[in-house]
Chains A and B, each alone.
Chain A
Amino acid sequence: MAYKHGGTSIAFSNYNYAFLYFNKRYIEICVDISKTLSVRDVRRKVSAFMFEFRYAIPSTLKWQEYRNELDIINDKVNEDGELNTLLEREEVEFREMVQAYPLYYKHFLRYLGVLSRFVTELSSTYMPRTVRQQNLLKYRDDNIFHEKLHEFKSLVFSHLSSFNLKEFRIKVNLFITFFYAYRIFVNEVYSTKIEEVLSLVISLYVNEDSISLFSNYPDYDREDWKKFYKIETHLQDALLYCNSLINLSLSSYGVLPKIEEKVQADRTLI
């Protein structure tokens, strides 16, 4: 925790550079892990990231906790040999992939969980939470933070706009990682709501009935297609709703131009 000992300037003297580097690396890992189907790849990337920034964790004991948690998840992933072999293959059919999804998501979400808590822990060091920090990053159009955030946001939105069940993993994972990357800016009420909705989105997708439906893709009769499209619509609506909640929070940080900064009028005299 950065304490205020005789002025915040001491605590945040190298704030901007450190934050920008951290932000860049975090976005890279988010995009990488959402693209790959390999859980082993996810493990490698998450571990590398956590080890790189372990120095910024305020307490050594806490780091040890994360390390243990990571080890437990890694062991479970390694135990799942069948899944690993399947997902490491260069070409995986949609029906095979869908059948592996319940297990894949179990591991993937665990990695994301530990990663998101780790980043929250780092927030006191990196994230702009105070007014002073927000101001440091505000009104600077050439800021890498804004540039990266806009880039990432635009990528996520383009995927959400062309949402389809066949590419569910890439699109949803990208959204989840984006949410976790900027969760620190999203207010807690919305954040809890987004997590609840995302839980339902993934549950609906990896549900037994859905998996059996997806396994037959594209050999569908009229009713199956109806069901397929209905699920697709539900899921896309839910993701867009979550995205709107993120936007609502981000806009108050001056990150998004949605709500224009009011030109403050004068209340002084002469």
Chain B
Amino acid sequence: MITVKSGKVGLLSQELKEKTQETDDRENTDLDKQTVSNLNNLFSANETTSLIANINAFNGNKDYNYEQLCELDYSMDSVVSSLRDIKNKVDMDIFFKDGYTIDIKKVEEKFKAKKLRRKYPDFNFKRLDELYKNPPKTLIPYYDDSKAIIIDEFIFRKYVIGIIQMVLDHMDLLSVVTGGEGTGKSTHVSQLMYMVWWILTECGIIKYKFDIKDMFFNTLEKLRMKEDDFFNDPFRILALDEGNELHRQNWRDEEVSTFFQRLRRERFNQRIKFVCIPVLGELISSVVLTRVNFIIEMRNKNSMKTASLNKGRAMFYIIPRGDVIYSPAQKKELRKGDIKSVLFENLKDKNFLKGMDENILVKTYSCNGVWGFPESLYIKELKETNKTFQVSKGLKLTETESGYLYLARISLKALGIDSKDAKYSTLNKFFGRLKRYYENDPQKITKLEAIIKRKEEEKNIKEWAKKGVK
């Protein structure tokens, strides 16, 4: 309450001067000014004073009724939630004081405890730490020093986390890039592939070259064949461009079911896969909900001045492995359950045709048009694939046919084909793949042998019947 005081002008002036020169009493606090101010506000709020008065009333053995209990519940709830909010902000500040989240020493300890040094002899923790703390702003592609791929540090860190989990927890990493025609899906996938390859190389995890032929495929068959070749080779980056073969209608196709089965079963192969697909709904819902880690939706923006399109707008979604994921786009944490429910609804019926639901958007970012590998190679690969689609349908073997071929134990030598023969290389590769296909899954042979045995028995019974044997 403002009250009028009496006194001499000099004394009043002196008092006023002293009052306005008082400094903040909390100078020795380790809390920042904003937090102190927030606490001041909270502790002087109506709810806090009511809470204290209410507790005192109870302790003072005064009459205590249901209404007061309700008031206590309301004010305590409100104070606690506000206090938690303030503390969370402080926690967040402490957490990000150094600008990053990973305790690299702990990573190293876990690495040692899991005895992973033998598997990754050149793993460079220092470099990993550096990369996480200071992600590069751009990456120079291997084929042209004058070009630069723009890197978004949020996305970069998420892939680093993904790689750490791959190393320490034996996980796969699957990213799906969606978007309409000409939105820059393939360009961006090539950038992401190059970024991941670069991180893996920098951290001493891989030593293979960045070669489009071993990484980027236009057909499922080619991808599957290359995957067979690299069966025991972890951290292989594989991308399927135009994954339209994965369309829901083709779910029964052998290549498609193999692809999905591998996603489901072969986590231990530590693959980094990218799939470009026009809409997410073309993939099987259960695979999306359980196996996909990142979804990137590419969009075009209209450029009013040039009446053309601005490509390279990316919307980044995460299906978290943990319980929550922080969304800078929405400045809040999104719960895994909520994300999955939204996605489930989105994948139902034909809702997916509308595109992704922005309520689960994690980040928006822009990428430029620089390819991770030379664009000319991409066009060449694309043309070759189109040629095969047009001219030849290819020859496919069923499981039984290929099984019989395997059991026939055909030897090239026995057929009179040696390494000098022009047919040798192709046939050798084919039989190699056939061998690996069955040796990696011996159950298939057991099944096949059982079928052969049954067929032979049936044949014998028929013959005995003809001969009149009972």
Contact = CB atoms under 8 A, between A and B. Distances in A.
Nearest to B323: A268
B10 to A, nearest CB: 9
Contacts of B161: 269-270
A210 interface: yes
A207 to B, nearest CB: 6
Contact of B92 (A191, A210, A237, A265): A265
Interface in B162-198: 162, 165
B1 A267 contact: no
A202 interface: yes
Contacts of B331: 263-264
A234 B17 contact: yes
A28 interface: no
B83 to A, nearest CB: 10
B114 interface: no
B289 interface: no
Interface stretch (A2-10, A76-84, A149-157): A2-10
Interface stretch (B37-45, B265-273, B424-432): B37-45
Interface string A124-150: 100001110000000000000000000
A18 interface: no
A268 B326 contact: yes
Interface in A179-227: 184-185, 187-191, 193, 195-204, 206-207, 209-210
Contacts of A113: 1-2
Contact of A102 (B4, B77, B82, B324): B4
A234 B162 contact: no
Tell which of A252, A263, A269 has the most Cβ of chain B within 10 Å. Answer: A269
Contacts of A2: 74
Interface in A232-270: 234, 237-238, 241, 248-249, 251-253, 259, 262-270
Q: Could you say which interface size class chain B belongs to?
A: 35 or more
Contacts of A130: 47, 78, 81-82
B249 interface: no
A231 interface: yes
A234 B13 contact: yes
B3 interface: yes
B16 A201 contact: yes
A5 B73 CA distance: 10
A72 interface: no
Interface stretch (B218-226, B295-303, B314-322, B439-447): B314-322
Contacts of A231: 9, 13
Nearest to B50: A1
B321 A269 contact: yes
B379 to A, nearest CB: 33
Contacts of B41: 185, 187, 249, 252-253
Interface stretch (A29-37, A86-94, A104-112): A104-112
A131 B5 CA distance: 39
Nearest to A176: B2
A123 interface: yes
Contacts, number: 161
Given A3-B74, A193-B19, A209-B9, A202 B82 contact: no
Given A3-B70, A202-B4, A270-B293, A210 B101 contact: no
Dominant SS among interface residues on chain B: helix
Contact of A266 (B74, B85, B326): B326
A200 B78 contact: no
B437 interface: no
B390 interface: no
Contacts of A263: 328, 331
A131 B322 contact: no
A163 to B, nearest CB: 14
A118 to B, nearest CB: 13
Nearest to A117: B1
A190 B46 CA distance: 15
Contacts of A123: 46
A29 B132 CA distance: 57
B18 to A, nearest CB: 10
A199 B13 contact: no
Contacts of A269: 161, 165, 320-322, 325
A267 B101 contact: yes
Given A207-B6, A209-B9, A189 B44 contact: yes
A189 B92 contact: no
A56 B70 CA distance: 19
B331 to A, nearest CB: 6
Shortest 4 CB-CB distances between A and B: which pairs? A188-B44, A187-B40, A203-B5, A241-B20
Interface of B: 1-9, 12-13, 15-17, 19-20, 22, 34, 37-38, 40-41, 43-47, 50, 70-71, 73-74, 77-78, 81-82, 85, 89, 92-93, 95-96, 99, 101, 154, 157-158, 161-162, 165, 293-294, 318, 320-322, 324-326, 328, 331, 333
24 contacts: A3-B70, A3-B73, A3-B74, A4-B70, A102-B4, A130-B47, A187-B37, A188-B44, A197-B19, A202-B2, A210-B9, A234-B13, A234-B17, A238-B19, A249-B40, A249-B41, A252-B38, A264-B92, A264-B326, A265-B96, A265-B99, A266-B157, A267-B101, A270-B318
Given A197-B16, A265-B328, 7 more contacts: A187-B41, A193-B19, A230-B13, A234-B17, A248-B37, A249-B41, A268-B320
